[in-house]
Structure 1
Amino acid sequence: MSQETLDNKSGRPVDTRGDAGKSKGFRLDRDVRNAIVLFGVSIVLIAASRVLGPGFGSLAQIEAILLISSFVMVVAFGQQMVILIGGLDLSVASMVTLGGVLTFSWIGNSGTALIWGMPAVLLLTGAIGACSGIGISLLGVPPFIMTLAMGIILYGATLGFTQGTPSGAASPYLSSLFAHTAVGVPMLYLMFLVVLGGWFLQVRTSFGRKLYALGTNPIAAYVAGLPVRRLTILTYAISGASAGLAGMLLVGYVTGVTLTMGQSYLLPSVAAVVIGGTSIVGGRGIYLGAAAGAILLTTLSTIVSSLGIAEGWRTIIYGAVIFVALVLLRDDLRVLLKRNLPDAGKK
């Protein structure tokens, strides 16, 4: 009798050996547990920060953390799907900038332009992402090289389009997403819908299960008849559109645009995905974990910045927390430690 079953959410094989005699009650999926732990660590950090001053840990600060992390979440939505299939998108920084510049130039303060401008920006950034997918799947260019080259090309094109100085106006309709109300900000509800939609797409649809299969074993996925090239192109298109959407939202939030606005979202988008439990080689992870990772990183960054710590020490603390989170939350690292530490003690 087989000792492996299929995960109900991802369709991936799960080893059930050693489960005999254990309780068969309700058990959370491993990736969901990791996400809950990350949410819990963020809550603890926020609560602990109250000792630093009256403004720390307040409802206003929590709201600000969630709002700022929402931009990372949007970028991480596409980045997580790309990493899930074993890829990497280094063009998201330039894509965020392009989305912001086009929103600023095409839409401005016109309500009519908003109707066609938003779909146009998303289609364009999605098409550019698809070009990266074509280069990777059809031409065999490594994802790192392909997306890095695409990012450089995009930055040059954006620089030429703006002549170094973006012109236009911030859309008041996008800015209204961030207008405060009695119960918070509407953007927080949009963020919740994005997280819920991303989770549903991955674990409850055939498209999501195909991504897991492709990331686990591309050759087996191809032999099984999955459209590997089409899935790869579509995934990179989603990543491009997600980064373009983040650029749009940033214009509404900061009511302006710069040619470097996307640079601060490349590394956080990758870090949030990896800290959230997604395997960097693909085949494992859920978007809920990436969203939790984005909140944790934003919480940490906000608290450390508020302490007035020097930039060098802030970077060290930031990196140390990321490393510790990886050690504690990644099952493969925990197994490796369990195997090696007893042997080290015997020597």
Structure 2
Amino acid sequence: MKRRARNSDVDDDSGDEIELDAVSRLVNRSFVAFRCTPFWDFKVEHMSRYERQFKEFMMIDLERALKEARDNGDEEEETEDLLRGRVLQVELKGQTISPWRGGESNALTKSPSRNLLSAHALSETEDPSIRPFELTMLFQPRGKPVQKAYSAVFMSALSEGSMKLAPGFSHFPLALIKADAPIIPLITRWFESNFGGHISPMRIPPWILEDVTEEWALRFYDMQDTAVQDVVRVPRTRTLDLPLELRYDTGIDELKTVTVNIPVNDLLGLIERAFFQLFSLRVTNNHSRLMDIIQLHILETTSIDVTKLILSRAGNPASYISTDGKVKLMANQSKTLTLQVMRRLMAVACENVFGP
């Protein structure tokens, strides 16, 4: 089975997989996260029709976007080459992520979104309209020898939650889109114009990055002595020994960011030394957090008080996530850890669906 390169340039066959667990298609790619309101009259049985309609729409909208870019003074050659490009192939296909619903939801979040992760979800097999689906597009920029592969993965909600949808609506709260910046608005505009939903960039608050860091670290600590059975492997990729990375924005022009890297072994040692405090955290749910311990460790070792800064990106061996909605899920890691990150992103997408 062929695999996609790190960038959007293509030498693979994005559409040859049937009923492939979609987690393997999400890893080792960089996405931008979007929040979606419910779609009206989206029918999975009409995927082939949607493919034709999307391709026709794109050819028209590329011309409109080119004129709009020129009117706005954007005369960059790269933008013009993209907007003068051609859509070669479009495919819409339902994807399977198993297990996506239920399972480990109770331990995933302390936010009000926990009810969205309840055990009252329908099984994916009960209703095909709640399965995730992926749009893939093979694209040829003008004058370029290498084709591009764009994709948009629309994730179904983890559960029905407190919001009941009227008949005819379906909800895919989280969309992960991989495409060049001038192309993304065209993709979202087609879905909005055809299904009435609103697709907006998803900003991820710093405290969510802290939660993702805590959840990954504690789960990784629990799993360290257990052989990993659910590795999401991607051919021709290496297993990287990545540290915990925390990037902070300073608000100072002379030093815009401060990045702190903590090797995993050091992090495990830090957790081990604070084990009883962390055990109290997980049992009694007191106000102490792993992030407090990490922040204190940074202060003691670097004299930098990161509590006065803004966390803008958090990375670990399973994922890299930034407040501007950029997401990268890493290959050759535990599927359990990857799904944990996905569930957290879904919880963010489900909050304030009809608000800011």
TM-score using structure 1 length: 0.29
Normalised to the residue count of structure 2, the TM-score between the two structures is: 0.28
Q: Which has the higher contact order (CA 8 A, sep 6+)?
A: 1
Which has more helix, going by share of residues?
1
